[in-house]
Amino acid sequence: MRIVITGASGNLGSALLRELTGHDHEIIGVSRRAPAEPPAGVQWQPLDLSDPAARENLVQTFLGADAVVHLAWKIQPGHDEATQRLTNVIGADHVLTAAATAQVPHLVVVSSVGAYSAGPKDREVGEEWPTEGVPSSVYGRHKAAVERLMDQFERDHPDTRLTRVRPALVFQAAAAGEIARIFLGPLVPTGLVRRVRPPVVPLPGELVIQAVHADDVATAVHTLLRTRAGGAFNVAAEPVLHPADLAHALGGRRTGLPLAVLRGLADLTWRLRLQPTEPGWIDLAAGVPVMSTAKLRELGWRPRYTAVEALDELLLALRGRKGDSRFPPLGSRRTDKSANY
């Protein structure tokens, strides 16, 4: 297949390139900056999706493609939602419009658990759960906006196969530098992770999350490309991670902390620019539901890593705050603090 991948140099993009190479696919990677060492056999198209000219350029790139996988996403600058929106929402609109113009038969858009409205933590929900996001989260609002764009795309282009992929938190060692930079900032001593074992880790009981390794998301996307399955698919590994599991991974014992206190601390330190993570991420983690992956598993997908293994791999890599230096977004330093996932 001829496959075009937007955001091909990020966390998920780098994993998808590993997955797809060696399978006789023709792969075209799209990102704002080409890797220092592009993977063998991958063609590269430097392109900024937020550029007003991106739509026309994407049409030329998409012509003749059997499938387009849209991964590009920007999380920083955290204090500038308008700049994020240019890539996240306007950029997604450019991709959808260009795919329709180029008559791409299969479009795979990687969304997120963050697209879901608040839901239960004590039971699993399927892909039919509402996708209005968590309103106080920039990430959630933008993911929900892209879901609405896809709704309209399906109504306007019923002959195009549209696949929505909604993964849980995505971890891999190669993304440690990026994750440390855009979520923790320079003041958090990640080098102490796993070296200093805190006696207690204060976490609210609402922080029940799911995780998945980037390689397993890549395998899921490849499965969906091969089967040309349309619709929405959740992607997560087992087990569901509770606060006690997170504390244990950090080497300590969990003690309770009111959610409002954690959010207040996040809000204060974010406003003071002591750390880059806006408080909506706390609301998102506490609000999104636990997802069922039964639909994807019916296609034969199985994760190779447990959620605990994916988290452990990331935490070990965080010591050095290093990522895959071949890909600009995964490096430990960036001047504009943006990310393509």
pTM score: 0.92
Among residues 181, 180, 112, which one has the least CA distance to residue 140?
Answer: 112
Spell out the residues 6+ positions from residue 208 whose beta carbon is closer than 8 angstroms to its own: 121, 240, 241, 242, 243, 290
pLDDT higher than 80, residue 186: no
Amino acid at 299: L
Q: Tell me the mean pLDDT in the region 171-184.
A: 84
Among residues 86, 66, 89, which one has the least CA distance to residue 77?
Answer: 86
Are the CB atoms for 15 and 214 separated by under 8 Å?
yes
C-alpha triplet 118, 126, 219: angle, nearest 5° = 110
pLDDT higher than 60, residue 321: no
Residue bearing tokens 């990102």 = 31
Domains for the chain: give ranges and CATH numbers.
2-170+212-237+289-304 (3.40.50.720)
Percent over 90 (pLDDT), the chain? 76
Distance CA 62, CA 58 (A): 6
pLDDT higher than 50, residue 336: no
Which band of pLDDT confidence, cut at 50, 70 and 90, is reported for residue 208?
very high
Which band of pLDDT confidence, cut at 50, 70 and 90, is reported for residue 328?
low
C-alpha triplet 183, 165, 336: angle, nearest 5° = 30
Distance CA 334, CA 320 (A): 16
- The 10s digit of each residue's pLDDT in 246-278 is 999 988 899 999 999 999 999 999 999 998 999
